[in-house]
Amino acid sequence: MENQNKNKKRILSGVTPSGYLTIGHITGALANWVKLQDEFDSYFMVADLHAITVRQVPADLRQRTLDTLAFFLAAGIDPDKSTVFVQSQVPAHSELTWVLSTFTGMGECQRMTQFKDKSAKNMDNINVGLFSYPILMACDILLYQADCVPVGQDQKQHLELTRNIAQRFNHHYSDTFTSPEPFIPKIGGRIMSLQDPKQKMSKSDANENATIFLKDEDDVIKRKIKRAVTDSGTGIIYNENNPGIANLMELYSIATNTNYEQIESKFESAGYAEFKEACGNAVAEFVAPIREKFKDIRQNKSLLNEIIQHGKEKAGKTAFKTLRKVYKKVGFYQG
Ligand code: TYM
């Protein structure tokens, strides 16, 4: 596989193991990773360094690292085609972050909406890591010279910062980093909370009813969708001003592979209750095979460990190549 990947363009992406994965992780990220893994030389990581910007229980973090990896595989990532690894196992991520933090303005980090949101939610722990997190994310991408980064809408601003840092460094020294393009799906790039459809669906929402987790059983999914907050309208018509029903239509569209026109005509005479029931059934059917595959894979700890070990070596080699180049450019003594 290594040789076959040689002439391909490269992608990199990751998930932070700070909670259970949600349907948004599939629609915004993993589904596209799976589609792209044949065409690109692909690197997918469990971003555990990112997770500790918010306090974690160590044993839980270790378990969720394996859970996240198992969900990658359950969603269709093939470790024979793609390099799958755990971020903290490749020290170059932390090392490059120091160097590129000297190429990032305080104001740039201050402008990140995710920093503003997260610090508002964690008032008792607004740490420097939370602030500089986008620099670490930029390094994740730049270390692998990724051409393209498949992510959800919420990561767009971080990608812009990544491009700025890359261009600034390249301009100051000489061409070193590839400037990456984001790949954000039009449908599924921003799935909203079921309880507050103006907010993104999040794995760390305190209200479990707001989120469809990939571990949820069918009856739980159906119940959550039945209880989803919708506006006071009646018809099943796609309109961004009715974010509750628009979100459910988006989920239904993904789960059944149909477009909004088809949905509108199918449910022309239906009310919200009927549509919610159909949507619950469709989403449950969509999630079930991923959940069941996950349960199977998650039990196979030796397989997961083998993949992690292989990923560490492969990712480590690629990342170290870039880091060495950077150290040379900035003038660190190499012996
Ligand atoms: P994270 O773990 O929050 O989310 C992982 C991926 O899932 C997407 N996503 C969503 N897409 C649509 N609707 C949603 N409700 C939804 N929730 C999450 C995210 O956009 C993301 O693509 N910082 C990153 C992880 C990361 C990373 C990277 C990503 C670390 N280094 C380098 C790409 C490249 C994060 O916390 O994503």
| pLDDT tens figures, 218-263 | 999 999 999 999 988 779 999 989 999 999 999 999 999 999 999 9
Q: What average pLDDT does range 126-155 have in this prediction? A: 97
Given this model, what pLDDT does residue 230 score? 93
Q: How far apart are the CA of 191 and the centre of ligand 1, in A?
A: 12
Q: How far apart are the CA of 152 and the centre of ligand 1, in A?
A: 6
Measured CA to CA, the distance from residue 54 to residue 47 in angstroms comes to: 13
Which residue's CA is the nearest one to ligand 1's atom 18?
25
> Given 81, 121, 203, 317, which residue is catalytic?
203
Going from the C-alpha of 59 to that of each of 66, 122, 127, 285, the distances in angstroms are 11, 21, 22, 32
Q: What average pLDDT does range 307-335 have in this prediction? A: 97
- Spell out the alpha helix ranges (H) of 47-193: 48-51, 58-75, 92-101, 106-110, 113-121, 128-143, 156-172
Has residue 317 got a pLDDT over 70? yes
Q: What is the mean pLDDT of the chain?
A: 96
**For a pLDDT cut of 70, what percent of the chain falls above it?**
99
Query: Domain 208-295 belongs to what architecture?
Result: Orthogonal Bundle (1.10)
* CB of residue 137 inside a 6 A radius of ligand 1: yes
* CB of residue 250 inside a 6 A radius of ligand 1: no
Has residue 153 got a pLDDT over 70? yes
Which residue's CA is the nearest one to ligand 1's atom 20?
152
Burial letters for 276-293: b for 16+ Cβ neighbours within 10 Å, e otherwise?
A: bebbbbbbbebbeebbeb
- Is 118 annotated in the active site? yes
Q: For 17-31, write each residue's pLDDT tens digit.
A: 998 999 999 999 999
Q: How far apart are the CA of 112 and the centre of ligand 1, in A?
A: 15
Has residue 150 got a pLDDT over 70? yes
Has residue 1 got a pLDDT over 60? no
The pair of structure tokens assigned to 11 is 């992608």
Measured CA to CA, the distance from residue 203 to residue 192 in angstroms comes to: 11
- pLDDT band with cut points at 50, 70 and 90 for residue 3: low
Q: For 177-187, write each residue's pLDDT tens digit.
A: 999 999 999 99
Going from the C-alpha of 74 to that of each of 188, 215, 258, the distances in angstroms are 19, 11, 23
Given this model, what pLDDT does residue 2 score? 55
Measured CA to CA, the distance from residue 315 to residue 90 in angstroms comes to: 7
Contact 233, 267 (CB under 8 A): no
- Is 121 annotated in the active site? no
- Is 203 annotated in the active site? yes
Q: How far apart are the CA of 29 and the centre of ligand 1, in A?
A: 7
Q: How far apart are the CA of 277 and the centre of ligand 1, in A?
A: 29
Give every CB contact of residue 295 below 8 A, 6+ residues apart in sequence.
none
> Given 6, 186, 200, 224, which residue is catalytic?
200
Locate the ligand 1 atom nearest the alpha carbon of residue 16 and give its number: 2
Q: What average pLDDT does range 151-177 have in this prediction? A: 98
- Radius of gyration in angstroms for the set of CA atoms belonging to the chain, rounded to a whole number: 21
Give SS3 for 227. coil
Q: What average pLDDT does range 140-165 have in this prediction? A: 98
Q: What average pLDDT does range 51-60 have in this prediction? A: 95
Residue ranges per structural domain of the chain: 2-184+300-330, 208-295
Residue whose pair of structure tokens reads 């589904």 in the numeric block = 31
* CB of residue 25 inside a 6 A radius of ligand 1: yes
Select from 69, 80, 103 the least CA-distant residue to 300. 69
Q: For the full predicted model, state whether its pTM sits above 0.85.
A: yes
Which residue's CA is the nearest one to ligand 1's atom 37?
15
- pLDDT band with cut points at 50, 70 and 90 for residue 204: confident
According to CATH, the superfamily of the domain at 2-184+300-330 is HUPs (3.40.50.620)
Given this model, what pLDDT does residue 118 score? 86
Give SS3 for 194. coil
The pair of structure tokens assigned to 214 is 């990939």
> Given 118, 222, 276, 314, which residue is catalytic?
118
The pair of structure tokens assigned to 256 is 């059944």
Has residue 4 got a pLDDT over 90? no
